[in-house]
Amino acid sequence: MIKEKIGKYRWTICALLFFATTVNYLDRQVLSLLKPSLEDKFGWSNSDYADIAAIFQFTYAISMLFAGRLIDKLGTKKGFAWAITIWSIGAVMHALAIPIGEGITTALGWIGIITLPVSVLGFMVGRAILAFGESGNFPGAIKATAEYFPKKERSFATGIFNSGANVGAILAPLTVPWIAENWGWEAAFIIIGGIGFLWLFFWLFYYEKPEEQKRLSATELAYINSDDIEENITETKEKVSWGKLLGYKQTWAFAFGKFMTDGVWWFFLFWLPAYLKDQYAITGTGIMLPLAVLYSLTMFGSIGGGWFPMYFIKKGFKPYDGRMKAMLMIAFIPLVVLAAQWLGGISYWFPVILIGIGASAHQAWSANIFTTVSDMFPKKATASVVGIGGMAGGLGGVLVTKVGGALFDHYKALGHIETGYTIMFAFCAVAYLIAWSVMKSLVPKYKPITDL
C-alpha cells in the first residue's frame, strides 16, 4: 500500500536504463562471438585480436573520464541520447571494417607509415567509436539512478539495470552466430547495431529531470529527495574539478576496485568464445547454448547482489557499511573459478558453470561498487566519479586483454594453450578479494562527502 501511494514512475526510468544496458552489451559482444570465424577469415593471431579488443578498452577508459564530466554538464537526458547515438553508429561501422581499413592503409601508405593489417585497422576504428559512445552508459545510468531513487533503493535499482548487461550477454550468443551463419558477419553488426536507435525514441519521450517530470507525483518526488532532506544536503551547480575529486580517498577506493575487477568481466566477455574453440573445438552456432547458460547465471548475481546489502541496511548498517559487508561475502565466490581447468577434462560444462558462477559474482559486485559512489558523493559529482573509476576499470581491462593475448600466443606455440587460460582464470578468482581489501583500507567506515 505504501508503494502505491508513493508512486512507481521511477521504475519506468529503471526499465529504460535496463534496456540501454542490454543494447550496450549486445553491441560490444558481437565481435567476440565472431572472433573464431573472423580470425580464420583474416588470419588473426591472438595478439591481433587482443589489439582490437584493447583499443576498445583503452578508448573506453579515456572516454569514461570525459563522459562523466559531459553528462554532468549536458544533463542526463541529452548526454545519454548522444552516447547511444554514437555507439550505435560505431557498432554498424564494424560492417565496413575492410573498406575503412583499406582507406587508412592507402592514406598512411602515401606518407610512408607502415600500418597494421587492413582488417585489424578497420575493426579498430569501429571499436574505438563504439567505445567512445558506450563510455556514456554507466555514468549516465548511475546519475539517473541517483536522480530518481533514494539511497536505500539505489543498489537494487542499479542491480536491475545492470542485469541488462547479462541479458545482452545472453541474447548475443543466441542471435549473433545465427545471423552471421545465415546472412553474413556484416549483417550481424548492422542488425544488432541498429537496435540502439529504437531505444533512443523512448528515452527522449519518457525521460526528464525529476523536478521537470510531469508523470511524477509530488509524493514520489518527495520520496526520491528524502535523503537530501534528512541529511540537509543542498545541491549547487558549481563545477567540481577532477583535482578536487582525486583528493578524496573515496574516489581512489572506487577507482582501485574498478581497476582490479573490470578486466575480469572484459575477459569473460571477450575471450570465452575463443576459450571454447581453443580447448573444446566448439565454434559457430555450437557456442550458443553453453554461453547462453553461462551468462544466464549472471542474472542471479546482478539482481541478487543489488538486493543483498538491504539485509544489512535493515539491520541498522549505514548504506556504505552494509554494502561493503555484502561485497566481502561476494568477493569469495569467484574462487570457484580456480577449479574450472581442473574439472574441464571431465566435460566442458564444468568450466561453463563455474565461470558462470564467477561472472555472476562479478555482477553482484558491480551492482554494489557503482552504488558506493552515490553513497559517498553528492549527485552533482556522481557521474564524474563514476567516469574516473570507469577509466581505471578500462585501463585494467586493457592490461588483462593484452596479457591474455600474449599468454595465449606463447603457450599455443608451445602446444599448451590451456596453461595460458589457467593463469588468467587464477587472476579472475582472486581479484575481488584484493580489490575489497584495498577499498576497505582506504575507506574503513561510512564517510559521505559534504564539502563539495
Span 102-107, average pLDDT: 85
CA–CA distance, 359 with 428 (Å, rounded to integer): 9
pLDDT digits (tens, 9 = 90+) for 359-389: 999 988 988 887 788 788 887 788 788 888 8
Q: What is the pLDDT of residue 117?
A: 84
Lowest model confidence (mean pLDDT) among 35-44, 106-115, 120-129, 425-434: 106-115
The rounded mean pLDDT for the chain is 87
Q: Is the pTM of this model over 0.85?
A: no
User: pLDDT digit string (tens) for 140-180?
Assistant: 898 899 899 887 788 788 878 878 887 888 899 999 999 99
How would residue 449 be classed by pLDDT, with cut points 50, 70 and 90?
A: confident
Q: Which domains does the chain have, with CATH numbers?
A: 8-230+243-442 (1.20.1250.20)
Higher pLDDT, 183 or 380: 183
- What average pLDDT score do residues 261-267 get? 93
Give the model's pLDDT for residue 239: 65
Check whether 23 has a pLDDT greater than 90.
yes
| pLDDT tens per residue across span 52-102 | 999 998 998 888 878 877 888 888 999 999 999 999 999 999 999 999 998
Identify which has the larger pLDDT, 67 or 182.
Answer: 182
Give the pLDDT score at 7: 81
Convert the pLDDT of each residue in 108-141 to its tens digit.
Answer: 777 666 677 889 999 999 999 999 999 999 888 9
Q: Determine which of 31-35, 69-73, 193-197, 260-264 has the lowest per-residue pLDDT on average.
A: 69-73
| 198 or 376, higher pLDDT | 198
Confidence bin at 345 (pLDDT 50/70/90): confident
